[in-house]
């Protein structure tokens, strides 16, 4: 795996790779297919915000 730096005091989570390595990885990346396509879990996955924003359904 890749080396990371975590600094809780500075609220930092850093991936320790070069910018060129990150750019190279992004070129070949494809988004995975949704795990859930029907039902409550699909609705939540489609409508909820990211975990860093609280995973909430409303934008209040």
pLDDT of res. 27: 95
> Model confidence over 4-46: pLDDT tens digits?
999 999 999 999 999 999 999 999 899 999 899 999 999 888 8
Q: Which residue in this structure is represented by tokens 């699909």?
A: 42
For the chain, the domains span 1-28
Banded pLDDT at 60 (limits 50, 70, 90): low
Contact assessment for residue 55 and residue 49, using Cβ atoms and an 8 Å cutoff = yes
């Amino acid at each position: 795996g890749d080396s990371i730096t975590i600094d809780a005091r500075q609220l930092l989570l850093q991936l320790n790779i070069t910018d060129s390595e990150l750019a190279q990885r992004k070129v070949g990346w494809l988004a995975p297919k949704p795990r859930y396509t029907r039902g409550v879990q699909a609705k939540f996955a489609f409508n909820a915000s990211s975990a860093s924003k609280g995973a909430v359904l409303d934008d209040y």
